[in-house]
Structure 1
Amino acid sequence: MPDYVGSVLLLLCALQVKHLFADFFLQTPKMLSGRCAYVHAGRAQHAGVHVIGSAIVFLLFGAPVTFILVLGLLEWVVHFHIDFGKARFSERKKLNPQQAMFWQAMGSDQALHQLTYIAMAWAWVKYAAM
């Protein structure tokens, strides 16, 4: 296996761990309440937690600061809108954890985040990896 493949797999694993903590352990009540409103400071903060975590990961992988700043801005925008889409859909459908559609929305949200990490790993290989 080429060395860069191992590095990409490690990067994706690090982003997975970051995602676990940012999405499931570090959310505050402010981040979780009122999420169906587009202008939502809690969602902005939540997306910021993701960006900080990703910045740490990419620093550990030797990415240049300019790359991290650009990628961070893009990740913030994408994460904010993925979460808004799920919140708005869930609110409109009045979903709760006892409904299959709640879990379908949750799974779709998580899949979109994972696809974002694949795109971020691609960008790292193309623009930042040594």
Structure 2
Amino acid sequence: MPATLGSLLLLLCLLQVKHMFADYYLQTPKMLDGRGEYFHAGRAQHAIVHALGSAIVFLIVGAPWSFILVIGFLEWVIHFNIDFAKANYSDKKQLQPDQAAFWRTAGLDQLLHNLTYVAMAWAWVEFAH
């Protein structure tokens, strides 16, 4: 698929849908418990769900396998670390949903994930065509 404005917007929409499912529908209790620890198997699994979902999205838009493997690995690393930073900070501050800081932290987490998708879309335009 050529990188047109329409295909770029489609890619970004598909990444957003993937994100919603991976973050809100496909998380297991193991992925959610103990997230303040850095080496957390559940967070690694959660990041894999994101990377696999993105691989499907990039297959849909016709990206080559070499691109998909690199972008998937980079997304895994970035997603893993964004989620660790949020969990670690939230645990240290003992943030709860009734506190504004909890929602600011959650919002920053989501912003960083969305900016990751913008960077991934840029990489697709630059390197996958």
Query: Normalization by structure 2: what TM-score?
Result: 0.97
Aligned structure 1 segments of 4 or more residues deviating by more than 2 angstroms: none
The percent of aligned pairs where both chains have the same amino acid is 67
Question: Which whole-Å deviations, capped at 9, do the CAs of 1:62-88 have from their partners, x for residues lacking one?
Answer: 000000000000000000000000000
In structure 2, the residue matched to 1:10 is: 10
* SS in structure 1 at match of 2:44: helix
* SS in structure 2 at match of 1:35: coil
What is the CA–CA distance in structure 1 between the aligned matches of 2:115 and 2:9, rounded to whole Å? 14
Q: How many residues align?
A: 127
In structure 1, the residue matched to 2:60 is: 60
Q: How much does 1:32 deviate?
A: 0.2
Q: How much does 1:113 deviate?
A: 0.1
The one-letter code of the counterpart of 2:60 is L
In structure 1, the residue matched to 2:97 is: 97
The alignment status of 1:124 with 2:124, answered yes or no, reads yes
Q: How much does 1:90 deviate?
A: 0.1
Supply the RMSD in Å over aligned alpha carbons. Answer: 0.7
Q: How much does 1:7 deviate?
A: 0.7
The one-letter code of the counterpart of 1:66 is S
Q: Which runs of 5+ in 2 are unaligned?
A: none
Q: Which runs of 5+ in 1 are unaligned?
A: none
What is the CA–CA distance in structure 1 between the aligned matches of 2:27 and 2:90, rounded to whole Å? 18
Which structure has more relative contact order (CA 8 Å, sep 6+)? It is: 2
In structure 1, the residue matched to 2:44 is: 44
In structure 1, the residue matched to 2:30 is: 30
Q: How much does 1:101 deviate?
A: 0.2
What is the CA–CA distance in structure 2 between the aligned matches of 1:11 and 1:123, rounded to whole Å? 12
What is the CA–CA distance in structure 2 between the aligned matches of 1:118 and 1:61, rounded to whole Å? 15
In structure 1, the residue matched to 2:21 is: 21
Q: How much does 1:37 deviate?
A: 0.2
What is the CA–CA distance in structure 1 between the aligned matches of 2:85 and 2:63, rounded to whole Å? 30
What is the CA–CA distance in structure 1 between the aligned matches of 2:93 and 2:101, rounded to whole Å? 9
